[in-house]
Amino acid sequence: MGAADIVPGVSGGTVALIVGIYARLVAAISHIDRHWFALLKARRWRDAARHIDLAFLASLAPGILCGMALMTWWMHYLMTHPTWRPYTLSVFFGVILASALLVAGSIRLRDVSHAVRVALLGLLGAALALAVTQLRPGHVEPSLGYLFACGIIAITAMILPGISGAMVLLILGVYVYLTEIPHLVVHGERVLESLIIVGVFGSGCAIGLIGFSKLLRILLDRYHALTMGFLCGLMLGSLVNIWPFQRDLTPEETDFKLKQFERIWPASFDGHVFAVVAIGILAAVAVWSADLLARRLKTLRRSTSTA
């Protein structure tokens, strides 16, 4: 999830959905509420920990941070290198496509009317993801209020499968502004200002994450099939943004974060195109194989416990 969140066009929420922890993650975050604070005030530490599934969050959070820290350089290299970028995008494309199909196949439909509503929400999700991919990145010198709002919007996108928080920050015009902060702090430049910016942006992220996760939990509890249909549509719609065959529209731009790419159809099916497609297919097969193995292990555990 950490590695995915740093790549514009890919969502950490998609990874959570792929590996089967999305609903648990949403539920855990949404339980940061008045009851949890009341438990803390009463010093009922164990009850407070169980209320927010602390063991789960405490395992996940360091992994996300490590993924962001350790994979930043590798993902930057793979996404910016003209040779490796198509193969990297192809892997993401295959993984997300296969996962979206698995999610779609897991949706339980009651009748024809229910199926139509799920399909319509899936189309709405796909249209929303497509609309986001059509927006062009901008660049602004933001106020603290604008950064707070960007935090709320970006974290909402990060938890939604199919919509990239990094891409949303690019569109809002603050991605470059925010990613320059670590460089400034390391070199001792504008440290206090940078810390204030991080605090304001982080506050927006925290409020947006807790608030939006509560809404998602309600939707998953009461309208699971409809919500999963919408999330599946988001995943499928996002595939446009990570289409592996792209042309650089700004070759003169040295800063990759400011580059713009145009999605194209290969002029000929040569060895390079075949390799890119093959890698995407292998990535999809790996996801389907992992899902099949997980299902068989789950069945084996059930049969063993019953015996």
> What is the full DSSP assignment across 158-209?
HHSTT--HHHHHHHHT-HHHHHTHHHHHHTTSSHHHHHHHHHHHHHHHHHHH
Report yes or no: 220 and 160 within 8 Å, Cβ to Cβ.
no
Q: How far apart are CA 242 and CA 9, in angstroms?
A: 6
Q: How far is CA 157 from CA 78, 233, 234, in A?
A: 23, 14, 11
Q: Looking at residue 137, what DSSP letter applies?
A: P
pLDDT tens-digit profile, the chain (307 residues)? 887 776 655 677 777 877 778 888 888 988 888 899 999 999 999 999 999 999 999 999 898 888 877 766 676 677 777 888 899 889 888 888 887 888 788 888 889 999 999 999 999 988 988 887 676 655 566 788 888 988 888 887 777 765 667 667 766 777 767 777 777 777 788 788 888 988 999 899 888 888 888 888 888 888 888 988 888 888 888 788 788 998 888 877 766 656 778 888 888 888 889 999 999 999 889 878 877 877 787 777 777 766 6
Locate 98 and state its tokens.
């296969």
> By three-state DSSP, how is residue 133 classified?
helix
233 CB-near residues (< 8 Å, 6+ apart): 121, 122, 123, 124, 125, 126, 127, 128, 129, 162
**pLDDT the model gives residue 96:** 80
Q: Looking at residue 258, what DSSP letter applies?
A: G
> By three-state DSSP, how is residue 106 classified?
helix
Q: How far apart are CA 303 and CA 307, in angstroms?
A: 6
Of 230, 227, 204, nearest to 215 by C-alpha is 227
- Provide the strand spans (E) within the chain: 246-248, 261-263
Locate 261 and state its tokens.
């790419």
Q: How far apart are CA 120 and CA 18, in angstroms?
A: 22
Q: How far apart are CA 162 and CA 151, in angstroms?
A: 18
**pLDDT the model gives residue 7:** 64
